């Protein structure tokens, strides 16, 4: 080895030692200081350590979010509960205002209760006024066209209906008779006997059957017999007891109790109509109505009923305050009501302007 080469190696070693001494590093420390993904730590890669950048998946660039719409564009949410100032709202809220005024009777709470109460009464009056306008002269709805209000007219209608009933009962009497079961010691039988006697006067054949063998004092019938098993056959359990019997011997119970004369006559005609002995038109003639057969039967026809237009809620019945509630937007309503659509007394009174004084006088006209 030449002296020049030897001196060069010696100088290089000296420089290396000096560099390591300056930075406090050894060869081992140098290897340890390499990052974990250095070549020496990635032995699995072997000599094929090269990664193709084209094969790496590039992370997608973040997309800009669409601009958010202004909150004012969102529709105001509709709160649960009935619509304010509707019938259901008044039905639900009026007891709450009453309870609030009762538990805490401040002027504000009491005034709010009476305000809602007055609103309900005025709405009812308005409905009544419109209802009368709708009904008057309407053949479908005007009850005075069926039954007059005048007393003298009612007496005439009742008289005609009674005459028609008697005429129809005489017709039924030609096809049916009546069994009258009684006991001589039954005071209710004594009260019923004269009424059954009127039917005998109309032409009905009355067969009076004495269950205990005795006689009645208030009425003696043309055909009176002692029970010989008829009561048991028909299932008589109480007296007085009445049955209608047709020409074929079919019995129909009219009742096992005391019946008024009008109710007794009505039941006979109903049974006769059911059995087909009389016509429906004939039965209608017995109703105390004006021209009963010319009346509209709403149960059989599809009526074109008129209904009052649903006006917006007016304030305490005044027409000039209708617009106050009508012009409220959904957002304004949501600001007034809570989650149950209840309006606190202060907000309710504020809707109507100046608060009323305890003397009943107002501080001024209601503000719009």
Cα dihedral value 345, 346, 347, 352, nearest 10: 90
Q: How confident is the model at residue 335 (pLDDT cuts 50, 70, 90)?
A: confident
Find out whether 186 and 241 touch, Cβ atoms under 8 Å: no
Find out whether 225 and 198 touch, Cβ atoms under 8 Å: no
Find out whether 111 and 352 touch, Cβ atoms under 8 Å: no
pLDDT beyond 70 at 184? yes
- Order of strands, edge to edge, in the sheet holding 176-182? 223-226, 206-210, 176-182, 241-246, 251-255
What is the CATH code of the structural domain delimited by 151-286? 3.40.30.10
- Mean pLDDT to the nearest integer, 101-129: 91
pLDDT of residue 2: 55
Instruction: Please confirm whether the linkage preceding 240 is cis (ω < 30° from 0).
Output: yes
Bridge-based pairing state of the strands 251-255 and 206-210: unpaired
Bridge-based pairing state of the strands 176-182 and 206-210: parallel
Helix locations, 104-219, DSSP H? 107-135, 151-173, 187-202
pLDDT of residue 316: 39
pTM of the model: 0.48
pLDDT of residue 277: 86
pLDDT of residue 133: 86
The CA distance from 177 to 207, in Å, is 8
Q: How confident is the model at residue 247 (pLDDT cuts 50, 70, 90)?
A: confident
Q: Mind listing the pLDDT tens digit for each residue in 204-224?
A: 999 999 999 999 999 989 899
21, HSE (Cβ side, Cα atoms, 13 Å): 6
pLDDT beyond 90 at 259? yes
pLDDT of residue 288: 83
Looking at every residue in the chain, the average pLDDT score rounds to: 74
pLDDT of residue 76: 56
pLDDT of residue 146: 77
pLDDT of residue 309: 29
The CA distance from 179 to 227, in Å, is 11
pLDDT beyond 70 at 308? no
pLDDT beyond 80 at 278? yes
Domain residue spans of the chain: 3-34, 83-138+306-359+364-368, 151-286
pLDDT of residue 6: 52
């Amino acid at each position: 080895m030449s002296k020049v080469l030897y001196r060069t190696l010696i100088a290089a070693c000296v420089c290396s030692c000096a560099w390591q001494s300056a930075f406090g590093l050894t060869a081992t420390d140098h290897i340890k200081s390499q990052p974990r993904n250095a070549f020496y730590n990635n032995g699995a890669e072997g000599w094929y350590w090269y990664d193709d950048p084209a094969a790496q998946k590039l992370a997608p660039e973040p997309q800009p979010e669409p601009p958010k719409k202004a909150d004012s564009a969102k529709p105001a949410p509709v709160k649960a509960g009935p619509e304010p100032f509707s019938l259901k709202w008044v039905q639900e809220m009026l007891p709450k205002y009453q309870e609030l005024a009762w538990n805490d009777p401040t002027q504000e709470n009491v005034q709010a209760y009476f305000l809602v109460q007055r609103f309900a009464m005025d709405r009812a009056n308005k409905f009544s006024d419109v209802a009368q306008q709708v009904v008057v002269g309407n053949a479908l709805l005007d009850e005075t066209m069926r039954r007059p209000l005048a007393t003298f007219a009612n007496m005439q209608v009742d008289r005609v209906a009674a005459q028609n009933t008697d005429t129809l009962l005489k017709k039924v009497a030609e096809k049916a008779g009546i069994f009258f079961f009684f006991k001589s010691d039954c005071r209710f039988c004594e009260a019923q006997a004269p009424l059954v006697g009127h039917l005998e006067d109309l032409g009905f054949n009355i067969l009076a059957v004495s269950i205990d063998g005795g006689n009645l004092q208030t009425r003696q019938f043309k055909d009176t017999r002692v029970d010989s098993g008829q009561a048991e056959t028909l299932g008589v359990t109480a007296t007085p007891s009445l049955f209608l019997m047709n020409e074929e011997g079919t019995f129909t119970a009219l009742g096992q109790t005391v019946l008024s004369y009008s109710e007794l006559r009505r039941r006979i005609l109903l049974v006769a109509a059911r059995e087909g002995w009389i016509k429906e038109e004939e039965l209608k003639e017995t109703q105390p109505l004006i021209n009963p057969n010319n009346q509209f039967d709403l149960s059989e026809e599809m009526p074109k009923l008129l209904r009052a237009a649903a006006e917006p809620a007016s304030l305490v019945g005044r027409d000039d305050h209708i617009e106050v509630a009508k012009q409220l937007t959904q957002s304004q309503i949501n600001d007034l009501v809570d989650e149950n659509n209840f309006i606190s007394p202060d907000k309710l009174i504020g809707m109507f302007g100046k608060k009323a004084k305890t003397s009943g006088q107002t501080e001024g006209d209601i503000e719009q």
